[in-house]
Structure formats: C-alpha cells, structure tokens
Structure 1
Amino acid sequence: MAESLVSIVLQQLLSITERQAEHELKLVTGVDGEVDKLTGNLLAIKAVLENADKRQVNDPGVKLWLGKLKDVSYDIDDVLDEWNTALLKRQIEQAEGTRVRDAPLLKKVWPSFTLSSCFCLRQVVLRHEIALKIEELNQRLAAIANERSQYNFTSEIRASHEQRTITTSVIAESEVFVREEDKKAIKDMLCEDSEETTTNLRIISVVGMGGIGKTTLTRLVFNDAEIESHFEKRIWVCVSDLFEEERIAIEILESLTGSKPNLVGRDNILQQISEFVSGKKILLVLDDVWNEDPCKWEQLKGSLKNTSRGSRILATTRKETAGNAVGSRRTDMFFLGELSAEKCWSLFCHLAFFDRATEESNKLEDFGRKFVERCRGLPLAVKTIGCLLRFKTEKQWKSILESQMWEIEEVEKGVFPPLLLSYYDLKPVLRQCFSYCAIFPKDYRIRKDKLIKLWMAQGFLEETRNEGMEIIGEEYFNKLAMLSFFQDFTKNENGGIIRCKMHDIVHDFAQFLTKGECLFVEMNGVQEPWTGPAIKTIRHSMLKFETEDTSPIPIDNWKKLRSLLIESKGNFSGDSNCTEYLLIDSIDQLTCLRALDLGAHPFFPPVRIISDKIGKLIHLRYLNLSGIRYSKIPEALCELYNLQTLDIRYCRDLKELPLGIGKLINLTYLENEGTPLSFMPKGMLRLRRLLKLDVFAVRKRGVVESKSCSLEGLGKFTHLQGNLTIQFCAIGAREAAPLSAMTGLRQLTLDFDSNDAQDEAFFLQALRPPPNLESLYISRLEAPILFCNWMMPLTMLKSVKLGSFGNCESLPPMGKLPFLESLHIDNMHKVKKVGEEFLGIERAGGQITSSSSSSSLSTSSYIAFPNLKSLKFLYFGEWEEWEEWEYGNLSTTSGGQYCSCIAIMPCLQSLIFQSCPKLKALPHQLLQNTAIQVLNITSCPILKERLQSSEDWPHISCIINI
C-alpha cells in the first residue's frame, strides 16, 4: 500500500508542475528546491518499497517504518492537493474574468510579487503556508529516507504489468467444485420426515472452519431443484458476527412477502412472520452464525413454530457452540471436513491449467501437486492459489512455491499465505484498491459502481489518454474478482456485476493489512472505542448508527479521516441532540475528507439546509447526499473544485442546484434521479468531464431563462453515458436537442408534462438520438403520436416503452423496428381499435406497402416485429377491437388459407394484457403463434371469457404458462 501511496504523491507533483507551466504561476522563492528534494527522497524510497512491503509481515520494525512513511505521505498528498486546488481556483477565476482586488495592499505586504503572480492576498498567504508545510514535510521525509539504510532493503524489479488482464467471466463455483456426497447427505437431512420428531421445525447446522466451503455447499443445496420443489418457501439470510435480530427478522419477512415491510418494532415483524409461515413448509438458511447465546434465538424461532411438518432451519457456522445456540442437537450437526487431495487437485487443475496446452500442464504437474499439498484441503486456499497461477510461467510457479510467504501462520490454518502470495502479485495500486475494502463490515454487499467511485476519490485510479478512470476501475474490479478477492455476485440481466461480497476470511485478511487505517464502528448506544493513540491513525471509517443515544464522537481524533461513510439502521426522530446530527454540524473540521457518504438517512428533519461549512472540505471528491430531505444546496458547495461525484438522488424537497455549479470542472457523475429539480443551471455547460447525468430538467415556466440551461445546451454534453431522462415540465419555446453525438448513451427516457402538444411535436421531430441507443421510453405525451423518422436508423434499439399518451387514438407503427425485442405500452385511454398500422404496413391501390415507403412489397418481403419477444399492454380503458390481420402466415379460415405474404411476431414468447376491460378478442393469427410460452391476462373480463371459450381455447391450450 505504501508504494501505491508514494506513486500517488509523485503523480500529484507532476500534475502541479505541468499546471504551473500551463498557467505561468510562479512559485514562492525557495520552494522549487524543496520540491526537487521531495521528489528525490520519494523516488529513493520507492525503489525499496516492494521489498519492504513483503518484509513487514514478519518484521515489526519494517512495519513501523512503513507506518511512518504512509503517515507523512498522506500529509504530503494533502498539501499538494491544497496547492493543486489553489491552481484550479486560479484557472476558474481566470476563465470567469475575475479581476485582482486589493492591489495596493498586496504591493505593500508583498513588494517582491507582481500582480500577475498572485490574484489576491489570501492566495499569496496560502502559497506561503504551502511553502512552509512542504519544507517541514521534507524534513520528516528525509529522516525516513535515511532510516531505510538500517533495514538493508533490496531494490526489486517487478515483473511488467503492462499486459492487460485477460477478460473472462468469473467462474461459477457450482461448475468447478461440487461435494456430491456432502450435498446428498445434507439434502437427506433436510428432506427426511421422521415420526420421532416432536417439533415441526428441525434445526440443522453445517459446521466447519473458515474457507472450508460451508456457504458454497449450502448455496448448492439451497438452489437444488429437488430442494426447491420440496419446500413451499425458501429464505436465505446472512447473519454474520454482528447479531441483529430485527434485521434478520426484516429480511425473513421481505423474502416471504417479496417487498420491504412497512412495520416498526421487532414484535410486529415477528408476528407478521408467524402469520405468513403458518401451515407452510419452509427452509430458512442462516448463513455465517457466530452468536452463542441461545436466548438471542428464542423469539425468532418462536415466530416459526406454526410452520408445517418438515420445515427446516439450516445454519452454517465455524463453531459447534453457535450451532447449539441456534438449537441444533448433536445428531443434527453436519461437520464439513477438509477437501480430499483428489478433489483439491481437480479444483486446482480447473483453475490453474485453464486454457493451457496438455503438454504444458503435464510439465507443471509436479509444482501443482506441491501447491495443493500446502493448501491443506481448504477450497478457498486452493481457489486463491489456482487463480494466481493461471497466467504464470513455469519460472514464476517455481518462485511462488519458494516464497517465504508460506511460512506465515495467521488466522485459519494457512489460508493467509495463498492470499498474501496473490496480494503481493498485484501491482501496488490494485493492492490499495483491495485493502480499501476493509472499511466495510463483514458480509456487506458492496455496490461495484460506488466502490469504483470511492477508489477514484482516493486517487487510486489514474486516467490515461485512451481510458477514463471509470474504465480503469472496472478493469481493476474484474481483476480482483477473477482472483477470488470478491465473490457472491449479484448481476443484471446482461450478466454485468452490480454487487458483490468478500468471503469473511478475505475480509479478515484485508483488515489484517489495514490495521490502524480502516475502521468500521457500530454505534449502538454503548461506549465506543474512540480513544487511544491508534485511533488518530484511522484514515477511512464507516459508522453504522443503531440508535440516537450514542456516545459523543471526539472530532479532534478524526481530523485525518479521508473517508467517512455513514449508515443508519432505521427511523430516527431527527432530534438535534443526535450524535450524527452533531457530527454533520462539525463536518468542516474533517478537512482531509476525500469521500463523504451521508445518503439515505430518514432521521433528519423534513427541511434541512446544508451548512456553508461544506465548502471547507476542499479535498472532497465523493459526496453522497441521496435520500435526505434537503431544501437547498448552498453556493459554498461550488468551492469543491475537486468534486467528482455528487449524489443527490431522491432528495424530494430539493428544487434547485446552486447556480455556480459550473465551477465544479472535475464533476464526472451528477446523480439526480428522483429529485424534482425545476431547471438545470446554465453554468452546467462548463462541466465538460460529465459522464453521468440521470435527469435533465427543462425549465418550468416562471424560471428566468438566463439562469437555466436550454435543450440546445443539452446537446453539448457529448460524453454522457448510460441512461438519460429528459423531463419536460414546460418547454415554452421551439428548442431542438440533437443528441446524435452522445455515442455512449444507451437508454433515453422522454418524460413530458408540459401540456403543450405543438412544442412536444416540434421537439420529437428535431430529436436525433445516438445510433447506439438500446432503450427508448416516452411518457405523458400530449402531441398526437408520431412515428419519427429517426427511429428506423436505431439498429440497436431493443426495448421501447410508451405510456400515458393523452391524445393518441391509434398505436404507432412499431412493427417496422427491425431489432425490437421488448415493447411495453400503457395508459392509452383514447385507443379504441388497433389495426394494421401497428404492424407498420398500409395499403395503396390494393397493394401492401410499408408505411415508411410508397413502394409495393413482394409477397414474402415483410416481417412485422421480426425480433419481438415480449409484448405488454396495460391500462387500455377504451380498447375494444384488435383487427384480424388480413395477410398473415399463421392462420386459416373456413374459406381457405390466407396469402402468406407477411410474417408477424415470429419470435414472440411473452404476451401480457392487464386492465383492458373492453377488449373482446385477439387476432387468431396471434393465438396460433407457436413461439408464445407465456400468456398473462389480468382484469380483462371479456377477453378472459373469450379465450376460455371452445372457439379460442384449443388455439392457446398448448402454451406452457397461461
């Protein structure tokens, strides 16, 4: 970690030098030499850091030396960032045309300075203070550099890391390693129904050391098809070492009901659980149980007593005493042993020899056998070392096998040595990224995008010419995941990782590496460990508030914090005496903060104004205020020139952004979904680094035009990526917003609420979405529906949602979109009839034509909705008729066969209708589509009766899910 930190400081020095040259800002006399000394000492120290970092594990003296180095490096980074921020401010004020004031006073106090070299007294004083700080820090660093000679460090040349990570999917554990015998034994214990059982609820515990594979095995059992069919309800709860009875109960109830419970109080929640499980056969998995107090489990088990015979609780734990506490008898404990040598070898081969030639694998077998032997039958150790060796050469295998790291005996009988080997194989910045995760508690579900932004805030990610920091962060995350530092992934529909967890032993390892730097504290009303000399070394902390009645936080001991993440358990009153309230009120004292997360706190008063003190946090890069009911953000926030991420999602009372937001020239992510902003300040046009903007709000009527950014201005944000919503509260002018240059945009939502049909129609026709758009959502449109010419070139468009069109009497010709896979249409209250126009065809002189062309079609040239898989119609209050298709390839009549000149929805799999009370029937060609697998009819009484009739039922009875 020290090596990465030193690299960050050196990069800061380079950045400042370049910016000074660019803006011709002369340094205070004497600082040039100090900067050169600083750079020289850092480079000399960096040369031995690879060796020092490895030796600190066994040598307390080296660890102490590295601690002093990290401490001074953090301080140097703060001073350089202060310097860099002053240069940024100079750059911004020059761009705004700010004139230098107090010129006579400057000449009197600093006669040796010209007005061109300083723009106000405060800046001159600041530069002088920076010079003094650099001189003092240089003395500290020089002493540390001199001390390195007494440790006889060697300079190590690291293997080149220029080769990019090979991108592969994270290997599914179920495909790699299955304990078939163990899995079968646990399944038998879950499914057997003994007459001797005196209770409906049998409690089974899987007991084994950390890293042995308890959770992996239990997950395989939990997801087994036989187990799924055996139990009516299956519930998975991660307990962890912080026992929280109410949280566990809430998660159980949420799993049972499918939604978060709107209940307060443990008794109410447990009563609700009891009602839901009554008479049902359930399987409740309690993963990672530590608590050994039987009394803690009594009320929870009591809420499950009315389950039906055959219900089970399955707990995983490292300790037999914890299994006893839950309620497992000795005969109901399954002791998971070490993996056999044969299976360890099988798992190792799958990972280490992946994609290697057989000849090469055979050559490495002897080394591989020795590695497996040292893993002592622990799957986590095998997995870690196997992933590490996957892309190594024979020479590197030999070097790793001979490493002194195998002699380390820390925690869990030898899991740490493989983790240390894998850790030290990472380049320094990746080590820093991994060890930062020690800030989170055990079993915490880490959001990938948030983690990457926190890495950015700490300066771990360095932008290149070709790749932004977020791309580098994604690569680093994937590398750590591939090496098993992350696991238990939650993925989106496209297979991308959204969240992850760390194995508890890997988390222990991260805490082992960052002892004294990262701290998680649960504020539960008892005296917290705020005192002691070590507390002043904490740089990153996460606080979890359990109650309002917590011990005071001595801010003086936290002034070096660089990360402060705060979470709350539940509803708080918002009393001004609340510890967290007081902490926020003193936030200006935490001047070293790079990341501040105050999001989603329900206990603040309904209206709360952020103090101007926020402007003192000049190093801040990440600020999360989401979900808090702030009514105003002060202009002082615009002094945070380094800010990269501003999260104000779901701030329901926030109507305006500060007008000076254009000063935040480093702002990359502005997350404002669910926040009812009335306009976007014109200064936003200066945010040229902006990659993420959730919502662009077109100004409401009454907002002064000179304050707001126009629709035309939106088109200048060419770097936007991901999803964008444009909210039209009131357009008020014929403004165009061609977005074709936003090639990174994937989803576009147009939300109209202007009640101006002409302005809306003008905008729709002028809009030019980017060609790579995949999803398009349009809602609350008053203009008569138009099929815009720009839709056809959107060859990547796969999903369309249309809703609440006030004046739409017929559906647009969506059948012309060649790659459309999902179509969702709702709240079309004026539509009474759907005809051929919906398919994208029309007639001219008796010939079938495309509605986009006047030329006739050949008898086999047109396919309507060629790739559509999912079609939904919701809330069509007046829809009565869907016309039969006169030309189709799926139907016959008593009069003979239709001409097969048009194919319609050949790929359709899911067809859903909801609240279409007047709809009488569906086209026979649609009902005879053999590709349909799901037909869902809800609140459509006439249609339901027709489909169940003898006329239609034979056509749909073959559908798998009706």
Structure 2
Amino acid sequence: MTTVEFVVKLLLQKLSDLLIQEAEFLSGVCDQVEWLQAEFRRMQCFLKDADTKQEGDERVKNWGRDVRDVAYDAEDVIDTFVFRTAILKRRGFVGVVKRWAFIFNKLVARHKLVSEIERIRNKIRAISESRSTYGIENIGQEAEMSSTRLRLQDWKLTSPLDQEPDFVGFEKDLEILVARLMKGELCRCVISVVGMGGLGKTTLMKKVYNDTRVKTHFHSSVWISISQEYGVRDLLQNIVNCYKVISEEELKKLNVIQLRHIISEYLKEKKYLIVLDDVWTYEAWDVLKDAFPNMNNGSRVMLTTRNKDVALHADARSQPHELGFLNDEESWELFCKKTFPGHVNSCPQYLEKLGREIVKKCHGLPLAIIVIGGLLSRKEPWEWENVHKSISWQFIEGEVKISCILSLSYKDLPYYLKPCFLYLGIFPEDYEFHAKKLIQLWAAEGFLQQRGDEMLEKVGEDYMKELAQRNMIQLAKRSSSGRIKSCRIHDLLRDLSISEAKENMFLHVVHENVGVSYTFRARRLAIHHNALREYTFLKSFTPRLRSLLIYTHEVDEMLGRKPDKFLYTGFKFLRVLDLHNVKTELPSEIGALIHLRYLSCTKTWLKRLPSSIGNLRNLETLIVTSFYNIQVPSTIEKMQQLKNLHVTSAGADVFYVSWGVIEGHPRLDWISNLHTLTRVKAGKWMEGCLGKLTNLRKLGIGLGEGEFDKVFFESIVHLECLQSLFVAAGSKFPASASFKSLFNLHKLHLQGELEGLSESCEFPEKLSKLTLRDSYLRRDPLATLEKLKSLRILRLLEYSYIGVEMACSAQRFLQLKCLHLERLYQLEEWRVEEGSLPSLLHLRINYCEQLKKLPEGLQHATTLKKLELWNMHPLFKARLQEKEGEDWKKIHHIPSIDIHYME
C-alpha cells in the first residue's frame, strides 16, 4: 500500500508542476486540475491509514490497487498534455495563418485535457463509493502512526558502513578450506563450497580468498562472479581483463575459443587460484574449464554453488565442502552484532529471552539473522513482540523458507525507501552498481524528496545509507572522502525486490527464457543480457512506459540496425533511457523524448550527438561513453535543467582514449544547475562561460596544446564549489598553474608535464586525493606532497616521477590511507622512515621494474591491511617467500597480500 501512497505523492508533485509551468496553456481549465489535485490529496490521507490495515485484508489491497490505477491514468493524461504543448511551443508561429493554427491547436489540447479529467473524475467517484461496497469506509478516520515509522535511539545507528561483513561461526570451515588449497595433490583440482542461498558461501569464500597464507601461496588469483544470467564471452573477457595481457580493443575482436586459449596460455606457467562464485549449472563450468590448464603445479579452482550435483560434475574426485547452519550461540552472536552494532554490552538483559526466540525462528541462516537484526536495530524494545509474532516460517522439503522474514523487512521500510528498494531489481544478478548512478536514477524517477535547500544527491546518499543500515543492500566500496561508492544486493533480496515490484506494477524484469505478458502494465522495464533478440515484443507494451533499461551484450542486435524506427518514437513518456553497446548513431528522433530526465549510452561507437538533443529541456543527466571523440552540439545550451554531463571513454584506459568536443560557442553559463562536466576538450565555449558555472562540483577537461590554458586558469578561481578536478595538459602545465584558490577541492588529477611541484603547483588545504600522471618530475615529489596534511589517497602513475630514489619522512603522511605507485620505471630505491605512513591501509605497486626490494620501514606500518605487488622484478619472488625471504618480516603482519610477478 505504501507503494501506492508514493505513486499518489509523485502525481501530486506533477500536478503542482503543471499548474506552475503550463499556466498559459491551462487558461480556463485550472479549476479542473486543482480539483484533481485536491481529490488525490484526500486519497493520500486515506492511504496513510490503509497502510496499517492492509495486512491480511484483501479488501483494502483491492481498493489500493484501484487508487494506483487511477493515479497512473491521471499521470498519463498530464504527460500527454505536456507532450502536446511542448510540440506546439517548439513549432511556434510566424504569420497570421500559423498564428491561428497555433491558437486552434492550443484550444484542442485544452479540450482534450478537460475531457480526460472528467473521465478521471468519474473513476475517482467510483473508487470513493467502493469503500462502502468493500466495507472499509472507516479507513482514514484514525490518525495513529504506523509502528514501522518509529525509530530506535540514535546510539544504535553508530556502526560504520564500511566494516567487513561479520564473520561468525565459519572459523573451522576457513581452516579446512585453506588447508585443502595449500596441500594435497599437485594436479589441478576443484574445491567446491555447497549450501543454500543466504548461508554465507560467498562471505566464507572471500575470507579464504583474502587470507594471507593463500595470497602468498599462489602466483595468481582471480575472483569471478557467475550468477544465473551469465554471458560466456563476458566471463572470459573479465578474466582476461584481470590479467591485463591484451588491450581492450584487441579483446573485443576475439571469440570465445580465442579467449579461452589466451587465458590457458597465460596460466600454464603459474600456480593459480580461480574462484567462481555462484555457479548454477553444469554448462557454466563446461564453458570455462578448458581455460584452466592442469600443469601439475598445485593450481586450484574454487567454486560456490547451491547445487551439489554441479560441484560433483566439476570434479567428481573432490568432495564438496557442505556449509551448515549456525548453532544457537553463533546465531545469537551474529544477531547481537547486527542489532546492537558498536556496543560491547550487546543485548539488554530484559530483551534477551525474546531476542533468542526471534533468532531461533531464523534456523541458523545467516542472511535471515542479518536482515531481522537490521530490522530490530531500528525498533523500540516494545515493538519486538510484534515482530516476533509476525515471523512464521518453517523447513519445507529440506530448505528454509525465508521469504517471510525478507518480506517483513521490506514492509518495515518507510514509504520513501520502498520505491528505492524495488528499483534495485533493474540491475542484473551479482551486479556491483555505482552509488552515483543509482542516485541519479532515483532523482530522475522522482523518488528523492527535496529537503529545504539540500542537494538531492545528499538526500540520495542518506537513503542509501539507511538501506545499508537495514542490511537491505551490501556496501562494496567507499570513495576517498568516505562516501559510498558502490553496492550490491543479495540474490534473495533482489528476488524479493523483483517480486514485489511486479506485483505492484512498478517494474518488470525480462531475462533469458522468460516470456513477456501481453497484459504488462508496469511503468518500468529492465531487459537483462540477451533475453530477447528481437525488439518487436516492445510493441506489445503500452506507451505508458516511463523507464527502459537495457543491459544486453549488443543493443543493436536486439533492436535491429536502425532502432530509431520504434525505440525513440514509441515511448514518448520515457523519463529514463539506459542503453549499452550501441553501435549506430543516435537518431534525431531522440529529441522527441521531452520527458527524459536521464539518458545514458555506454560502451558505444558514437561519434556525434544529434542537434535535436537540445530539445530535451527536462534532461538532468546525460552520460555517453564512446571509443571515439564525441561531437557535442551547441544546442546543449538549451538544456537548462542539466546537472550532470559525462562524456567519457569506453576504452580500458580512460585517460587517453576519447574526449567530448563541444561545437561552436554555446552559452553553457545558462545551464546554472550544472554540477558535473567531465571529459570535455577545452575550446571557445570556455571564454566568458567556464568561470560562471559556479555550481560545478566536478570538472574534467583536456587543455590540448595550451591554446586555452590562460582562459582555464583564470576561470577556475571562480569555481568555489568545485570538489573534484581532472586536468590533462597537451604537453606541459604553465609555470603559473595554481589550484590553491579552490578551497573545497578534495580530488585532483593532473596529467601532463610539471616543471616541479613546489614551483609550478600549489594545492588547497582540503585536498584528500591526488593523482599525477606523465608529470616527468625529476625531484622526489614526496618531499613536497608529504606536507599536505589532509591527503588520504596518493597515486603516482606512469612517468609521474623519473628519478631513482624516493623517501617518506618520519611523522609525515599522517592521514594517508592509500598509496599507489605505478610504472615508475626508473625507481630503484624507496625509503620509509619509522613513524611515516601511520594510517596506511592499502599499498599497491605495479610495473616498477627497477625496484628490487620493499623499504625496511614498511614493517612499522602496522595499520596496513592490503598489499598488491603486480608485475614486479623476479627478485621479489625469493625475497617475499613466506618465513624464509629477506622481506617477509616487512609484510608478514599484512592480512591481504596479492602478488603477481613479471614473466
């Protein structure tokens, strides 16, 4: 029911916008629109009460469906009217005849709107009368607040989101699996972990995979997620990408057989570990197994699966490791960690008996315990009894039915989070989705509620944090500033989101071998992988569709070589269009999609955006990635709602491949809402414009050969809101280059030659992430950079430094958490004094071919959690040998070590 409440809320917002933005065209019909607005406001009041009474009452559910349907009808009427008026405005009029035609068409549009509103009014009257028919006329008369709206005290919400998943009860399993990996026969064998969904197979496997003993035992290790919706070519490409043996362009030319051969040849001389997570079928193993050669050197393949037969099929000689349920005490320990995070005393004594009874109903299944713990962490103690009574599940045919507990957590979500959770079903299984993208999609759909002058992005971040605190999503990565960077959703929770979304006509997901109902009425459609090769099935859907997201390998294969015949004209109400792997040019017809808020075309071969893109006056986010330099028409100056413009590379190396070229001299300063402008080339458009984009938070620009250097550096001093800046110089940065005036700048990426850090560049005090590339510095850059007190991430990449020595001084780099040294080909010695790098968590060194040993002072970096050494000198192999190597004492305290040696 809460989903219906949200549908009505979005409709009310749309009605308000209509009255403000279309005042001229609504002359004479405002009363009807205001009546509609008032009626839906009254319905909204009834819905708040109905939400508390719908459980188990089919009459209330049916009434809610009626309200949802009429709200959808009203939305269609409004969007149709806006579409018609937009066409009239675009055509305008010149001369007497066209003027009279314009007036006539405006009157026709009004008449149609009045007629449609009258039809909606009749439906609303029928729905109001049906409350008596259904015997539910008393709803709306009580003002009690739903218990699901209440919150637990703030002290229960203090746990950090970026903590490792709680590891409880699998200690013995960990030791058994580590031993099986490192001991036993030399021939390649498959070690399988078997168990039902939600049992913790992936959590255990990650613990094994990241174990220091395992990392140092194998020369090469790779983690690949399979899922039910795998694509063979994608899987093999992902493995090749992990080894970085060929370029992205070469990779795309290879077929499945060739990809398997490349992987096999690369692994022949290595003791490797391959982890295949979530294997569902025999076929998934059969298409991959030939890529993993048996060289009798102790190599291993590990896989997780819910099907024991799949494990035996992969290696009949190897006994699958079957994961059991947690015992009572382990279950209780996990429950307390999730329900009372960050508190030593854990569960209060007066709640323990009831808490243990709730835990007992979870039957030792970790996912169920985690989800119910997340739910109770936000409940008042007196509400626990209600939760306890709501849980009624049992073992069915050897498996635990957990849908009740998961559904309970969904129903407990506040109304503003429900559509956000349901929307997660758009992503394919095991997909790691970027937080920024999801927030932009939520904003385009209208899910984010404005809170005063606060930016919607901040609202979206808070929504995501709350979902994570409730354990409805899993945190994957954080940015340098501590923000959530990417997330995942557990398979079972994803299934729940898809099921609930389908029932509420909110979203429909199409995947392989699943047919499409011709009675489909959902407002959003997501197509995963190669679900359907033909696009003709789309014609069976009504034009009600508001969002179309296609995650296939080849969009053009599915839509045909000229998709503009239908895709860009058949769905005139689209707010979100997300396409991948488009080879053809975008047609001019895309300009007809005037309702679009979000447009993304990624991994494309586009060379130019059509000038009609300027007609998308409501567009907020435009993302295009291509293997070519993209021509951006000057008509973008008309898109005054645009907040995010990303024109990025689709290649493997995002710093060298493609740029957006803005044509002409558009007035971008008119786009006052612009927050993000990335990967564009410097040009005439900057003159008198760039310095006026004062709302910019993120900017990425290529300066070319220096023609616009002066304009750029004179302009950026006015960008006081700028938080992230990427600048690529054509050759070298001017001696006068300075960034010190950018007080809010947190991230800075400079690509191009610098005469010297202290002379040519000044950095702002708040800088927390710095990347240098092609700087050709001759003096040790650390001597200057160690003075940046807020620096948390430092990346010195290819040719950033061409000297032979570097040193980290004592009591310096106090905040640095991540240090990345890559392709410093001349570096021979690196010294770290004791007391330096006291906060370092992650160290990565890649292709520093002359570096023969690790610094002595590294042994004092006791905070270090992860060490990656890729393609280093062969001498490292002996020096880092466990317990015996000269450098082992420097790294033995590091939990996760990943080493790949040069051939």
TM-score between the two structures when normalised by the length of structure 2? 0.80
Alignment of 1:161-240 (within 5 A): 166=157, 168-170=159-161, 172=163, 174-193=165-184, 200-240=187-227
**Counterpart in 2 of 1:518?**
507
Quickly say closer, same or farther: Cα 1:472–1:78, change in 2 above 3 A.
Answer: farther
Quickly say closer, same or farther: Cα 1:636–1:25, change in 2 above 3 A.
Answer: same
Alignment of 1:240-279 (within 5 A): 240-256=227-243, 261=251, 264-278=254-268
**Counterpart in 1 of 2:685?**
709
Offset of residue 774 of structure 1? 3.5
Equivalent residue in structure 1 for 2:744, among 768, 772, 777: 772
**Counterpart in 2 of 1:45?**
43
**Counterpart in 2 of 1:320?**
308
| Pairing 1:7–2:9 present | yes
**Counterpart in 2 of 1:467?**
454
Equivalent residue in structure 2 for 1:304, among 292, 295, 302: 292
Quickly say closer, same or farther: Cα 1:334–1:82, change in 2 above 3 A.
Answer: same
Amino acid at match of 1:35: V
Query: Unaligned 5+ residue runs, structure 1?
Result: 110-118, 700-707, 840-859, 883-888, 891-902, 920-925, 949-954
Quickly say closer, same or farther: Cα 1:395–1:583, change in 2 above 3 A.
Answer: farther
Offset of residue 649 of structure 1? 3.0
Amino acid at match of 2:639: L
Offset of residue 6 of structure 1? 1.0
How far apart, in 2, do the equivalents of 1:586 and 1:911 lie? 45
Quickly say closer, same or farther: Cα 1:818–1:794, change in 2 above 3 A.
Answer: same
How far apart, in 1, do the equivalents of 2:764 and 2:327 lie? 58
The answer to whether the 8 A contact 1:88-1:641 is kept is no
Equivalent residue in structure 2 for 1:564, among 545, 548, 551: 548
Alignment of 1:597-676 (within 5 A): 597-601=578-582, 604-605=583-584, 608=585, 610-650=586-626, 652-655=628-631, 657-673=632-648, 674-676=658-660
SS state at 1:429 partner: coil
How far apart, in 1, do the equivalents of 2:173 and 2:529 lie? 40
How far apart, in 2, do the equivalents of 1:823 and 1:216 lie? 30
How far apart, in 1, do the equivalents of 2:641 and 2:569 lie? 21
How far apart, in 2, do the equivalents of 1:628 and 1:269 lie? 22
Offset of residue 162 of structure 1? 9.4
SS state at 2:173 partner: helix
Amino acid at match of 1:183: L
Equivalent residue in structure 2 for 1:478, among 465, 469, 474: 465
Offset of residue 240 of structure 1? 1.6
Identity of aligned residues (%): 25
How far apart, in 1, do the equivalents of 2:839 and 2:494 lie? 47
Offset of residue 407 of structure 1? 6.8
Quickly say closer, same or farther: Cα 1:299–1:355, change in 2 above 3 A.
Answer: closer
Amino acid at match of 1:264: L
Offset of residue 810 of structure 1? 8.4
Offset of residue 697 of structure 1? 3.1
SS state at 1:205 partner: strand
The answer to whether the 8 A contact 2:742-2:764 is kept is no
Amino acid at match of 1:532: Y
Quickly say closer, same or farther: Cα 1:287–1:870, change in 2 above 3 A.
Answer: closer
Offset of residue 489 of structure 1? 1.2
Offset of residue 562 of structure 1? 1.6
SS state at 1:625 partner: strand
Offset of residue 811 of structure 1? 9.2
SS state at 1:450 partner: helix
Q: Of the two, which has the highest radius of gyration?
A: 1
SS state at 1:737 partner: helix
| Pairing 1:16–2:5 present | no
Amino acid at match of 1:182: D
SS state at 1:402 partner: helix
How far apart, in 1, do the equivalents of 2:279 and 2:568 lie? 37
Offset of residue 733 of structure 1? 9.2
Offset of residue 450 of structure 1? 1.2
| Pairing 1:552–2:536 present | yes
**Counterpart in 2 of 1:746?**
723
Offset of residue 170 of structure 1? 2.4
Offset of residue 458 of structure 1? 0.9
**Counterpart in 1 of 2:275?**
285
**Counterpart in 2 of 1:132?**
115
Larger RCO (CA within 8 A; separation ≥ 6): 2
Quickly say closer, same or farther: Cα 1:931–1:450, change in 2 above 3 A.
Answer: same
| Pairing 1:452–2:439 present | yes
**Counterpart in 2 of 1:76?**
74
RMSD: 5.0
**Counterpart in 1 of 2:376?**
389
Q: Larger deviation: 817-826 or 178-187?
A: 817-826
**Counterpart in 2 of 1:143?**
126
| Pairing 1:532–2:515 present | no
| Pairing 1:27–2:26 present | yes
How far apart, in 2, do the equivalents of 1:863 and 1:352 lie? 39
Offset of residue 569 of structure 1? 2.4
Amino acid at match of 1:519: H
**Counterpart in 2 of 1:815?**
784
Quickly say closer, same or farther: Cα 1:5–1:913, change in 2 above 3 A.
Answer: closer
Offset of residue 512 of structure 1? 1.7
How far apart, in 2, do the equivalents of 1:792 and 1:488 lie? 32
The answer to whether the 8 A contact 2:615-2:639 is kept is yes
The answer to whether the 8 A contact 1:538-1:558 is kept is no
- Alignment deviations for residues 829-877 of structure 1 (CA, whole Å, 9 cap, x no partner): 9x9999xxx99xxxxxxxxxxxxxxxxxxxx9x9999989969797899
The answer to whether the 8 A contact 2:518-2:541 is kept is no
Offset of residue 441 of structure 1? 2.7
Quickly say closer, same or farther: Cα 1:744–1:581, change in 2 above 3 A.
Answer: same
SS state at 1:690 partner: coil
Offset of residue 739 of structure 1? 2.8
The answer to whether the 8 A contact 1:907-1:931 is kept is no
Quickly say closer, same or farther: Cα 1:906–1:731, change in 2 above 3 A.
Answer: same
How far apart, in 1, do the equivalents of 2:69 and 2:228 lie? 31
Amino acid at match of 2:477: T
The answer to whether the 8 A contact 1:212-1:336 is kept is yes
- Alignment deviations for residues 124-154 of structure 1 (CA, whole Å, 9 cap, x no partner): 5434433333332333333334333415274
Offset of residue 378 of structure 1? 1.4
- Alignment deviations for residues 500-539 of structure 1 (CA, whole Å, 9 cap, x no partner): 221111111112201254333346xx8x724532x3x132
Quickly say closer, same or farther: Cα 1:302–1:154, change in 2 above 3 A.
Answer: same
SS state at 1:270 partner: helix
Quickly say closer, same or farther: Cα 1:58–1:232, change in 2 above 3 A.
Answer: farther
How far apart, in 2, do the equivalents of 1:816 and 1:413 lie? 56
Quickly say closer, same or farther: Cα 1:910–1:373, change in 2 above 3 A.
Answer: closer
TM-score between the two structures when normalised by the length of structure 1? 0.75
How far apart, in 1, do the equivalents of 2:69 and 2:130 lie? 15
Amino acid at match of 1:518: L
How far apart, in 1, do the equivalents of 2:822 and 2:427 lie? 44
Query: Unaligned 5+ residue runs, structure 2?
Result: 649-657, 862-866, 880-885, 892-898
How far apart, in 1, do the equivalents of 2:888 and 2:389 lie? 67
Q: Larger deviation: 794-803 or 662-671?
A: 794-803
How far apart, in 2, do the equivalents of 1:83 and 1:148 lie? 31
- Alignment deviations for residues 442-501 of structure 1 (CA, whole Å, 9 cap, x no partner): 222222211111111111112232311111111111111121111261344555433222
How far apart, in 1, do the equivalents of 2:797 and 2:238 lie? 34
Amino acid at match of 2:442: W
How far apart, in 1, do the equivalents of 2:819 and 2:327 lie? 48
How far apart, in 1, do the equivalents of 2:799 and 2:515 lie? 57
